[in-house]
Structure 1
């Protein structure tokens, strides 16, 4: 079955990643990833590139990936494609030290400013939330909003966090959250997370000025965002993963909704792919549907 399924020609990529993972990872090198962004752009979808890697306990790999992001930002600008980057704090030094993370993030943000490219800061598990919020606040103010931050609806603290973020420039990406957090700090049922997500969107569309990113594949959440946009007029965009509901991504873009595809690449694709499938049952279902073309 898998071997008989082909993606559209514009998405076939000549590298040695197995066909299943090939749906979700845009190759092992930045040039191939940028080619994928170009294909997305032809359908009206912009790209958010993420170099795979996280939880480095030593500084050299954190510094190396920082430089890779700086080079990637320059390459995106040189290729003149619609794309930006998204970085994980633990990838650029947080596990080594807060000072290392802050120094490397500042270098990436500076490169983004030089090349007019937006920089997203991913959110990881709850132990990193405070330092990530602080870093975003620093750069949101320093760049007048040319950075974005991911927040997770499953964390009970997130409503209070976005009340703080509402006063800042920059974009906020709302996701449901994939980390297995303790029950005392996180909503555990699907219903509770969905309710929290909707309530967070309602607050954001009512109170935010600088834009909202709906990071969800759930049609109900995307429809809810469209209704809130109609009510409040707040700018928003939809972000989905590469390989998940790509037809819906193109349809949204055709309907005039700013749409972004989150595009991982790099040689650490195996751990990324299998973690995505383990995180939630929905991810495995999305993967199956993507593979069989439904």
Structure 2
């Protein structure tokens, strides 16, 4: 059972608790991106177990009629054990989700996984063309479901501009984030202002060149405002994606006008994720201290 202070950032340990969180989000006009916590597996049993749980999860989402999709990590689905296993596993999960009309996000991890992740995404997106670039045809009241596949790109990597140009004609969705991994300076921008400028430039390119399917994964008000400005100028449909427990009031405010999705993690491997969330902002630390002192 999760301690009370972890409940702000993690939905619980079971699929049922995650889907209940999504149900409450849907009542607020926010879609859910459900993720079973787990990464960097070095044994096939863990890979197979999580893949099986994802296949069950998409069936549960379809049966519940929730506005929700799933998000998977390449290293969770076997990439650390080889690209062949990863491609087989992620294909099985995406095919199962497509059969239930549930969308799948493929997360991006550190730079060593970029090529394998993008190659798998492109193949799967073309195979399942018709489910997406479906954000281009969605309204703000229908932005969290439908079969298809999406991938994440990171603005701090110097290669990302070429990747974004490559993905412009791929029939899937693309999520833009600043990048959370501590990458080497020869392949990544390290200065925060430089990353912000690159992020804005990548969004500008995507809103101008993509025909939909743009997801803005950011809590930065300036980046969100830039995305809204691009949307108003180019008319490209988009959605805003934020984490559970971070700027929840802003999520509600934005959802009154734009499609918003919240990342909803769950599972018994919650500790490392929770501690990352706790330490990345001083406000999160203050929240945890208050929770402890008020007990």
The TM-score, its normalising length taken from structure 2, stands at: 0.90
Counterpart contact for 2:9–2:277, Cα < 8 Å = no
Counterpart contact for 2:22–2:66, Cα < 8 Å = yes
| Aligned counterpart, 2:215 | 213
Rate the CA distance shift 1:38–1:235 in 2: closer, same or farther, 3 A: same
Counterparts of 1:91 and 1:208 in 2: how far apart (Å)? 29
Say whether residues 1:125 and 2:110 are aligned partners. Answer: yes
Pairing of 1:32-181 with structure 2 (within 5 A): 32-144=17-129, 145=132, 146-181=148-183
Q: CA deviation at 1:19?
A: 2.4
| Aligned counterpart, 1:262 | 263
Return the match for 2:242 from 240, 243, 246: 240
Counterparts of 2:286 and 2:160 in 1: how far apart (Å)? 31
Counterparts of 1:243 and 1:92 in 2: how far apart (Å)? 26
Q: CA deviation at 1:275?
A: 2.7
Q: CA deviation at 1:153?
A: 0.6
Counterparts of 2:286 and 2:262 in 1: how far apart (Å)? 17
Q: CA deviation at 1:239?
A: 0.1
Q: CA deviation at 1:247?
A: 1.0
The TM-score, its normalising length taken from structure 1, stands at: 0.90
Q: CA deviation at 1:276?
A: 3.4
Counterpart contact for 2:71–2:107, Cα < 8 Å = yes
Counterparts of 1:19 and 1:284 in 2: how far apart (Å)? 19
Gaps of at least 5 residues in structure 1 are 1-15
Counterpart contact for 2:150–2:173, Cα < 8 Å = yes
| Aligned counterpart, 1:273 | 274
Say whether residues 1:285 and 2:278 are aligned partners. Answer: no
Rate the CA distance shift 1:84–1:286 in 2: closer, same or farther, 3 A: farther
Q: CA deviation at 1:288?
A: 4.2
Counterpart contact for 2:278–2:285, Cα < 8 Å = no
Aligned length: 273
Gaps of at least 5 residues in structure 2 are 133-147
- Alpha-carbon RMSD across the aligned residues, in angstroms, is 1.4
Q: CA deviation at 1:251?
A: 1.0
Counterpart contact for 1:66–1:92, Cα < 8 Å = yes
Counterparts of 1:200 and 1:288 in 2: how far apart (Å)? 32
Counterpart contact for 1:50–1:86, Cα < 8 Å = yes
Counterparts of 1:123 and 1:290 in 2: how far apart (Å)? 29
Counterpart contact for 1:86–1:120, Cα < 8 Å = yes
Counterparts of 2:2 and 2:57 in 1: how far apart (Å)? 21
Counterparts of 2:121 and 2:154 in 1: how far apart (Å)? 15
Counterpart contact for 1:244–1:286, Cα < 8 Å = no
Q: CA deviation at 1:287?
A: 2.1
Please state whether the residue corresponding to 1:223 is helix, strand or coil. Answer: helix
Counterpart contact for 1:87–1:122, Cα < 8 Å = yes
Rate the CA distance shift 1:290–1:45 in 2: closer, same or farther, 3 A: farther
Q: CA deviation at 1:210?
A: 2.9
Counterpart contact for 2:277–2:284, Cα < 8 Å = no
